[in-house]
Chain A
Amino acid sequence: MQSYDIVIVGSGGAGLRAAVGALQTNPDLSILVVTKTMPTRSATCMAEGGINGVLEFAGQEDTLEAHSFDTVKGSDYLGDQEAIDFFVEKASEAVRETDFWGTPYSRRDDGRVACRLMGGHKHARTNYSADKTGHILLHSNFDYALKCGVQFRINSHLLDVAVEDGVCCGVVVRDTNTGEVTAIRSKSVVLATGGYTRMFWARTSTPYIATGDGVAAALRAGVAFKDPEMVQFHPTGVANGGVLITEAARGEGGYLINKDGERFMANYAPDRMELAPRDITARAIETEIIEGRGYGEGLGAHVLLDLRHLGRERILERLPQIRHVALLFENLDLVEQPVPIRPTAHYSMGGIDVIDHEHMKTPVPGLFAAGECSCVSIHGANRLGGNSLADAMVTGKQAGIGAASYVGGAGLKGDSSLEKLAAKWRDHFRETTARKGGATAPELREKLAATLWDGMGIFRTEEKLQAALDTVVDLQKEYETAVVGNDNPVCNTAYSHFLEVGNIFTLARCALVAAVARKESRGAHTREDFTQRDDENFLKHSLVTVNGDYHLDYRPVSINRYQPQERKY
């Protein structure tokens, strides 16, 4: 059986940073990065805005405390304050460190890294590289990982994390190329598998691969899913599929128009109009659609983003990328036509329960988590722009350090658990691919997305959430007999997707269980039947575990500095 000191699952920003962090702590460790795609295909590359981090220079007015407070306030006080203090300090370090490794940041005339102001921040602290910071950061981390000699196992899909006697002892993966199921023994495991927003399949800005495989594997290993109900919606995705139209479109003066040709933001934010904060704009668009002033129906319903008055020249000069997206997904030229848009699921604030922010430990010794799949929580109920790349860099590095520090006292064991899990998955392939007749994973996935959008979307009520939960339980049953349609072990991507859909079903059900019970409105979780934040009863993290049944528990939020106050901008 192959053995390693550390196995890292996922090759996005957090996974790559974890690998480098571990090797910097101890270059003699044997480390393997397991990834279901070629590295660099992850959601990290889609981030545009930048990476937050307060840098020191003469005349700097911003402080770490200010970044910390903005993050706490942005989280609607569900963020853990001690962890956030640690995070902002390390975020600043991350920007300087990646600069030193070769990340080509945009520059000011004096040679300093350039930064911009993002929503919810008091100061300009979002450091950027043009409008593709995520892509640049991901590739400079990949390059640096190559420099450090990090080894990859490409096209290997995580099936399970093995735990024996309460201690993590490795992973079971499926080599997509050959179909072989392999147990890998490892003293520690870092999960860096990304978010779970693909549960909203037809309405998300995230990549096809963001199916929360690591969160689901952690659940099967007994680790709780923290704050699963917290999913951020971005107000403007293209109606067809949800790819992002960046905020720049509204920043440049774009109008949001309903079916009656009205600039409806006048009824929601008369002063700021289209430039109101993300959550207010997203709710306004959904309200227009729900009240019958949108176009189309079902998941295809939408309002329009009109840029025509800006004129061809300005659109071509300032918004070429947005024009390209509209052409690609809606087949129209926004110089001549308005583009159909609707809010889109954008980021997973919840994730694998992390109980130690310095080393990104989960409750299972030897198991660590980093990046969007993890939840300390830094982002609480709502993430601020620019904090996601910082999260990937900081939590990635800390998890790498954590795992490297842990393995000194750990041994290799757990062969029987690993073999048992591997055998289970070999049977699973045989059994599921032999099925004839039944629903397909893509069909069920579309039903799940529609159910979640209606029931656990931007506006939630007890009734809608409960109905969605009932539907998901039924769909999950249907999934138990669904067909794969391909029994060839070689590169069976239909089976891989079948596994992904199984994962998002589990995660969606967890999210619904937590959302039904959270009888308040906080951050991204907007309840029409409980419109106020309720600190007395819900200033706490939801923790869902799955053991046959779905079980909900809570843990208090760590508050050391800022007492909750009303979140006003």
Chain B
Amino acid sequence: MQNFIFLIDRFDGTNSWRQRYEFPHKPGMTVLTCLIHIKENLDPTLNFTASCRSAICGACAVRVNGNALLACDTMVDDLREQWGDGPLTVSPLGNAEVISDLVVKWDEKVNRLRLANPGLHAKKEFSAHEGCRQAPQDMQAIQKQWDCILCGSCMSECNKLSDSSKDFLEPFTYTHAARYAEDSRSRNPLEHMENMEKSGMWKCLHCMECVTKCPKGISPAGAIASLRELAFKAGHTDGPGPRHADAFRTDLENTGRLNEVKLVPRTEGMVSAATKRLPFTLRMFARGKLGPVEAARLFVADNHRVEDHDGLKRILKANRK
């Protein structure tokens, strides 16, 4: 087999560069054993973090060829099957401040995690002295979200977070909020949801990167969906987020097709749509993305129904139960 070649994104606090390391192939090496090999045999200045080496502490997440993964849990031979025998590029997690090389800063992430109000506020019938009671299926309902090891893989690849971290949180934060909101022992699930509502819960782009990158198979996007559901159930239906979601639901119920002309006024309100979005609409006309006649028709009427719309309605009805 050919030698391994790692191209590592380096940063020493001042300068950034990409450094090439070449070393003999050995079957069964993980990304982490390669990093350790480099540090202890080729270059002691290389920095990364690792602790348990068995995929449970979350310390060693890095990006390889732009995708977050746990270094200890990934065989380089498997990566070669995916990417070929050429060099692998190893970089620090995305959407995080880099301290040096592959080491990123967690302080701010931990503080933002506090917004989820983690920690159970148990129902009145329970006490610290006697503990709680919980049905096995109620524990199983939250079990997956408790697999989170705070490795930051979901954060690294989140497209919304790359756009702006001012109005969106690291996806694992929503997972944390949901695992307490959905716990049958919880006194008031809303206390875990309400901060999330103010901190980006409705702004997820549904790109599903967090779901595909989680090394533990958790769905932060699913956690966001369940928090949204909780908001609706609690009557928090006002605001662009809930209205946007409601517009999708109504369209599915009415025709099965999304009416994109009405989507913006229904989400943002008529005034905002007519003023803020007008230039955008005109550009769409100019580029031929939308015809004025078609737009007018959709505005007053609606789409044609999809074939077997009754079947869709039955699905929606079953889902609501």
Q: Which residue of A lies closest to B101 (CB)?
A: A491
A32-67 near B? 1/0 per residue, CB < 8 Å: 000001111111011000000001000000000000
Flag if A139 contacts B128 (CB, 8 Å): no
Query: Which of these, A100, A106, A140, contacts B122 with CB under 8 Å?
Result: A100
B277 at the interface (CB under 8 A from A): no
Q: Which residue of B lies closest to A332 (CB)?
A: B28
On whether A207 and B51 interact (CB within 8 A), knowing A40-B57, A135-B56, the answer reads yes
Flag if A104 contacts B143 (CB, 8 Å): yes
Q: Which residue of B lies closest to A136 (CB)?
A: B146
Chain A 427-458 residues near chain B, CB threshold 8 A: 440, 442
What are some 8 contacts across the A-B interface (CB < 8 A)? Answer: A41-B58, A102-B122, A102-B185, A113-B131, A129-B146, A490-B13, A491-B47, A494-B45
CA distance A144 to B118 in the complex (A): 7
CA distance A554 to B149 in the complex (A): 42
Flag if A494 contacts B44 (CB, 8 Å): yes
List the B side residues contacting A129 at CB < 8 Å. Answer: 146
Flag if B57 contacts A45 (CB, 8 Å): yes
A304 at the interface (CB under 8 A from B): no
List the B side residues contacting A111 at CB < 8 Å. Answer: 133-135
Query: Which of these, B13, B106, B120, contacts A102 with CB under 8 Å?
Result: B120
List the A side residues contacting B6 at CB < 8 Å. Answer: none
Flag if A100 contacts B103 (CB, 8 Å): no
Flag if B131 contacts A99 (CB, 8 Å): yes
Q: How many Å from the CB of A398 to the closest CB on chain B? A: 16
List the A side residues contacting B73 at CB < 8 Å. Answer: 328
A146 at the interface (CB under 8 A from B): yes
B63 at the interface (CB under 8 A from A): no
Interface size class of A (residues with CB under 8 A): 35 or more
A107-128 near B? 1/0 per residue, CB < 8 Å: 1111111000000000000000
Q: How many Å from the CB of A207 to the closest CB on chain B? A: 4
New contact pairs (18) apart from A97-B128, A493-B49, CB-CB < 8 Å: A40-B57, A40-B58, A41-B57, A42-B51, A45-B56, A104-B134, A104-B139, A109-B135, A129-B146, A139-B146, A147-B117, A155-B99, A208-B51, A329-B28, A330-B28, A490-B14, A490-B100, A491-B100
A485 at the interface (CB under 8 A from B): yes
B18 at the interface (CB under 8 A from A): no
CA distance A440 to B44 in the complex (A): 10
Q: How many Å from the CB of A139 to the closest CB on chain B? A: 7
CA distance A105 to B135 in the complex (A): 11
Flag if A100 contacts B150 (CB, 8 Å): no
B53 at the interface (CB under 8 A from A): yes
A-B contact count (CB 8 A): 177
CA distance A130 to B139 in the complex (A): 11
CA distance A325 to B117 in the complex (A): 35
Q: How many Å from the CB of B156 to the closest CB on chain A? A: 14
Q: How many Å from the CB of A360 to the closest CB on chain B? A: 21
Query: Which of these, A110, A146, A147, A485, contacts B44 with CB under 8 Å?
Result: A485
List the A side residues contacting B13 at CB < 8 Å. Answer: 488, 490-491
Query: Which of these, B14, B53, B132, B142, contacts A208 with CB under 8 Å?
Result: B53
CA distance A140 to B114 in the complex (A): 13
B304 at the interface (CB under 8 A from A): no
Q: Give the A-binding residues of B (Cβ under 8 A).
A: 12-14, 27-28, 30, 39-40, 44-45, 47-54, 56-59, 72-73, 75, 99-101, 103, 105-107, 110, 113-114, 117-120, 122, 126-136, 138-139, 142-143, 146-150, 176, 180, 183, 185
Flag if B52 contacts A46 (CB, 8 Å): yes
Query: Which of these, B132, B143, B180, contacts A130 with CB under 8 Å?
Result: B143
Query: Which of these, A99, A109, A140, contacts B132 with CB under 8 Å?
Result: A99
Q: How many Å from the CB of B181 to the closest CB on chain A? A: 12
Interface centre among B12, B50, B146 (most CB of A within 10 A): B146
A308 at the interface (CB under 8 A from B): no
Flag if B53 contacts A207 (CB, 8 Å): yes
Q: Which residue of B lies closest to A100 (CB)?
A: B128
Flag if B12 contacts A490 (CB, 8 Å): yes
Query: Which of these, A40, A110, A330, contacts B149 with CB under 8 Å?
Result: A40
Query: Which of these, B51, B52, B105, B132, contacts A177 with CB under 8 Å?
Result: B105
CA distance A129 to B14 in the complex (A): 45
Flag if A325 contacts B139 (CB, 8 Å): no
Query: Which of these, B44, B50, B114, B120, contacts A100 with CB under 8 Å?
Result: B120
A300 at the interface (CB under 8 A from B): no
CA distance A442 to B72 in the complex (A): 19
Flag if A493 contacts B180 (CB, 8 Å): no
Flag if A208 contacts B50 (CB, 8 Å): yes
CA distance A113 to B139 in the complex (A): 10
Flag if B59 contacts A41 (CB, 8 Å): yes
Flag if B139 contacts A106 (CB, 8 Å): yes
List the A side residues contacting B122 at CB < 8 Å. Answer: 100-102
List the A side residues contacting B134 at CB < 8 Å. Answer: 104-105, 107, 111
Flag if B148 contacts A139 (CB, 8 Å): yes
List the A side residues contacting B50 at CB < 8 Å. Answer: 208
Q: How many Å from the CB of B179 to the closest CB on chain A? A: 8
Flag if A154 contacts B52 (CB, 8 Å): no
Flag if A488 contacts B56 (CB, 8 Å): no
Flag if A37 contacts B119 (CB, 8 Å): no
CA distance A43 to B128 in the complex (A): 26
A390 at the interface (CB under 8 A from B): no
Q: How many Å from the CB of A488 to the closest CB on chain B? A: 6
Flag if A143 contacts B142 (CB, 8 Å): no
List the B side residues contacting A490 at CB < 8 Å. Answer: 12-14, 99-100
CA distance A126 to B145 in the complex (A): 23
Flag if A493 contacts B48 (CB, 8 Å): yes
List the B side residues contacting A130 at CB < 8 Å. Answer: 143
A370 at the interface (CB under 8 A from B): no
Flag if B183 contacts A104 (CB, 8 Å): yes
Interface centre among B44, B147, B149 (most CB of A within 10 A): B44
List the A side residues contacting B107 at CB < 8 Å. Answer: 152, 154
CA distance A95 to B56 in the complex (A): 22
CA distance A484 to B146 in the complex (A): 39
Q: Which residue of B lies closest to A111 (CB)?
A: B133
CA distance A95 to B129 in the complex (A): 10
